[in-house]
A and B are shown apart, each in its own frame.
Chain A
């Protein structure tokens, strides 16, 4: 294998599993350290720059970072009762938002400079548009955001129940953006793209989301319509206060996060016997494991392998739903299909049905001749990173771009689209993307002293305290999760392994004494004859079993061997550097930060 090019910013970025997995590439370990130090405001600002909605995301993020977290690969089963768990990255983010100095944060927020004369329309007021607005307003662009709903926030405001996300948090973080200046909100539905294009905007950003809930198509659906509700519409009606109760017996159809929000909301609006019924198996449900856990914790059973067959009704009133039992069958290629199991159909009585079986994009307001091409699934044809549509002045992001995702993806798209719009309007090539900023600092302070806390803890993941169930179910506005207090937050923060403090190897300093090899608790380091990656992976001191993680190859050794380090399970404990007599290993913090629109143009 070739020696590793550590000058490539992606190399060490990838080692920071959480940051690499985060769509917005939030510098996670840096903010976690700041939380451990009680520097909540600094931790908040790191998040604010990267993901725009720390308080919101700290409660609701889909957290793709957590399944990626190194901690869940390196914990010792016997010490954590068989369950290896990632750092509670998401809930630590909330700690930064909860304990920051609000006035100080407000005062340090950027302000819009003089207008640069260019105007941008954002269609939809969700997280994607808000991110575009934030990134471009600080550059002097004039932003106009259109939304059919009375307040900014998009689905964050209208779909996510307030017992998961209090409205005050949305108000606060939306205000940080609108207070920048140069951002105008128009409470207005857009019915024609051509009309918008005709209004002289220099660019248009479409952040209109994926607003249509899929309907149920079975006999009896129409007749019982009064008690069958589309989940998305129902949740927004609850959010706006148009709906405040539901029948005692409720069936929620669907296995995604929308279903989880529907059933938990129903429990708070009078639903006593609420159940979720899904077609697939429990394990394959789309809902996040923690959402399922929370739902079941509120006495909501989840029944699986049941496909709705018919809605039974009498005199226009619903009686219940009949289901066919299915089982999973796998073909030769391992593809699963659900086939009737042959068991008798099952009938469940109910007073209301909430349908949460899918969400779709819909752009009825974009005319066919607006120059914007769509693919066969009805999604716009876009540059993968530029998010530019076939109409060069129109950009997409968030759920409107590639179908329903989540808030953090919407923010990441917002950043990307803002870069594209800025470059486009400055006459630069939108395909050329700015490299991330990298700041490298050695952590060595003395022979055995490092400027980070290098001793890994063996504590098990801490649980976020919850409001007592009886109390929580009584009040739909009462937030269920209470958040970590500073002591719990410190303990949880200490579980982070500081994966951004990198082991950097300088071959010509190495005397091949094996000290690093012997001390490494994870058996990461091997000095051996170089070879092909596949072969090398098998003949290291411990096999490199995770092909998604790189091997770090160091050369320039006197014996001609290679230093091979498996990045997979390194604890970043720095013991290798501490035992190295020559400084051939050093622990260096690689602070990688995405470049946003502000610094994306060469002219600046």
Chain B
């Protein structure tokens, strides 16, 4: 943690985006996390993404559970809505909020403990339901806030700071999310903003359940030799399948790509995802192939990263429930209570 607040002085070249804000305007309070925590880097990536997307801060709702990771929303996009919920219960609060006001941009921030241990059930259901959100797990393999016990995502055989090996099988959040029906799934690393920022932008533009598993080393309890979530381990085992260039619908495409090196996916909102190939051929729109590739990577000891699965035409909770376009919280008594005659008609239809 830091005693002095980040000074308001800034680089002279800092520019305002279309929303009239500089990148610094998307910051939040000064972080109280341990110096060097990966979570802070992810916060910085979210700040960058929101700035680049010209997002209006007051249209963002940040929801989180409990944990160091779940504290992180305080440290980015200060001028937005926030809800620090109960441990593992962020998905249900998020679902409710999203139902009530579909117009906000929902960002769920959680940890591997919050989402894969106590909150595993809620995690599965929020993905199945296709809540339109960006759900980020800051994955450090431990319960950071409670001093570093192994979490459910710790790899079997990885060694704790005290030297004890983890004997349980690990939960792979990416596989689970794909399996449960998330329509945008990626993995990245807190130490690689070039990969992470465009992924966050693409996820935020995705109209459906978007999930990002971001490996985020815990410097205090899980950054030693023998850990599979340390800076060194992730860097050595990172197997990036692609690099995303996120292109907003109205932007002109200026980058030239070598033929055959790029796959383009157009999302529902018109935004383009240009996936630069980094080696093998990989088609992220093939769900079965994606699950296979992720599992293979796990067996080979790779940390497979990149945009792993995307359904370009997803359906979200509101589509499935066929709700009206207006946010429910804006409906007035007249619309919510159409009167006795309408009730009578409905009742008659059920007789």
Contact = CB atoms under 8 A, between A and B. Distances in A.
B11 A575 contact: no
B2 A575 contact: yes
Given A448-B1, A511-B223, A542-B13, A581 B8 contact: no
Interface string B1-33: 111111111111110000000001000000000
A458 B8 CA distance: 8
A581 B36 contact: yes
A558 B7 CA distance: 31
Contact of B9 (A76, A511, A518, A582): A76
Interface string B29-50: 0000011111011011000000
B231 interface: yes
B160 to A, nearest CB: 19
B44 A573 contact: no
B132 to A, nearest CB: 28
A381 interface: no
A435 interface: no
B231 A448 contact: no
Contacts of A454: 4
Interface residues of A, number: 37
B11 A579 contact: no
Contacts of A559: 235
Contact of A573 (B7, B14, B40, B190): B7
B44 A518 contact: yes
B9 A571 contact: yes
Contacts of B231: 511-513
Contacts of A75: 9
A522 B2 contact: no
A522 B9 contact: yes
Chain B's interface size range is: 20 to 34
A558 B232 CA distance: 8
A564 to B, nearest CB: 14
Contact of B12 (A514, A569, A581, A582): A569
Nearest to B23: A523
B8 A76 contact: yes
Nearest to B193: A514
Given A514-B193, A515-B37, A580-B36, A456 B6 contact: no
Contact of A448 (B3, B5, B43): B3
Most chain A beta-carbon neighbours within 10 Å: one of B8, B11, B14, B190: B11
A455 B4 contact: yes
Contact of B41 (A449, A513, A558): A513
B11 A511 contact: no
B28 to A, nearest CB: 12
A519 interface: yes
A76 B231 CA distance: 36
Interface string A323-335: 0000000000000
A515 B35 contact: yes
A580 B35 contact: yes
B14 A542 contact: yes
B326 to A, nearest CB: 38
A515 B43 CA distance: 11
Contacts of B186: none
Nearest to A497: B9
Interface string B184-215: 00000011010000000000000000000000
A135 B8 CA distance: 45
Interface string A51-77: 000000000000000000000011110
Interface in B202-260: 217, 219, 223, 231-232, 235
Given A448-B3, A558-B235, A514 B41 contact: yes
29 contacts: A74-B12, A76-B8, A76-B10, A448-B2, A448-B3, A458-B8, A511-B219, A511-B232, A512-B191, A513-B41, A513-B217, A513-B219, A514-B190, A518-B40, A518-B43, A521-B8, A521-B24, A522-B11, A523-B10, A524-B11, A542-B11, A545-B12, A571-B7, A573-B4, A575-B2, A578-B3, A579-B35, A579-B36, A579-B40
The 8 A-B residue pairs with the shortest CB-CB distance in the complex, in nearest-first order: A581-B36, A518-B44, A542-B11, A448-B3, A455-B4, A513-B36, A514-B41, A581-B35
